[in-house]
Amino acid sequence: MSIMQYNGSAIVAMAGKDCVAIAADKRLGQRALTVDTDFQKVFPITDRTYVGLPGLATDVKTLYDRFRMRVNLYKHREERTIEPKTFSHLVSHMLYERRFGPYFVEPIIAGLDKNDKPYICGMDLIGCLDFAKDFIVGGTASDNLYGMCESLWEPDLGPNDLFETISQALLAAVDRDALSGWGAVVHIITPEGVITRDIKGRMD
């Protein structure tokens, strides 16, 4: 079993009409054993930008703390909040700095820029950026998520429809992956604010 599969995760981000959504499962495992069913993998970076971190749990926690520090420093120096696109480039650079001893996470970023335009992107564990217009997937259930998103996603979904779509995609994907699931959380980021929902899923 590879190191990226040790803890297990499933994270997906989707772009809609003037909104983005990012969702993740809540399992923390150690190979077959499920240790926690309430493990946070999606973190707020600013009020309008969220980052999802699938992969090795220790690196998830460490990287989030490092991001927090860099974003706070950015805010002090620039006297403004960081844009999602700029944040992605920051993350990419931070990962490539560890090119020969990488962090075992493949971050997914979702947010709204200063003009309320939706922005999503993903990257591999050494920082290769993937700017998609539709959806980004990651984690042990990523193959399943690709299939679900490809079938269910359509452009210009409003917040309610986007919530339905991303929830169905995530739930169906994790129900076919032994290492992810055990609960899920969805964040919908709109210009008016962020809506966070826990979804009722299978706990097996």
Partner 1 sequence: MNRLAEQLAANDMSEFGLHNNNDSAAIAGPSFQLAAGSNPAAFAHHFIDAKSEKDSLIKIAHGTTTLAFKFKDGVIVATDSRATAGNVIASQTVKKVIEINPYLLGTMAGGAADCSFWERVLGMECRLYELRNKKRISVAAASKMLANLVYRYKGMGLSMGTMVAGWDEKGPGLYYVDSEGQRIANDLFSVGSGSTYAYGILDSHYRYDMEVEEALDVARRAIYHATHRDAYSGGIVRMYWVRETGWEAFPLEDVGQLYYRYHPEIQLTNSAESPLTVAPLA
Residues that bind partner 1 (CB under 8 A): 1-2, 5, 8, 29, 31-34, 47, 140, 159-160, 163, 167, 175-179, 186, 188, 190, 192-204
| Residue 157 structure tokens | 């979904």
Considering just the CA atoms, what is the radius of gyration of the chain in Å? 16
**Least distance from C-beta 202 to partner 1, angstroms?**
4
- Residue with smaller CB distance to partner 1, 8 or 52: 8
Euclidean distance between CA atoms 157 and 153, whole angstroms: 8
Return the residue matching tokens 């032994």: 178
- Residue with smaller CB distance to partner 1, 138 or 159: 159
Euclidean distance between CA atoms 33 and 46, whole angstroms: 34
- Residue with smaller CB distance to partner 1, 127 or 139: 139
**Least distance from C-beta 159 to partner 1, angstroms?**
7
**Least distance from C-beta 94 to partner 1, angstroms?**
26
| Residue 7 structure tokens | 């803890």
Distances (CA, A) of 177 to 32, 44, 84, 143, 168: 12, 26, 30, 10, 15
**Least distance from C-beta 65 to partner 1, angstroms?**
21
- Residue with smaller CB distance to partner 1, 33 or 133: 33
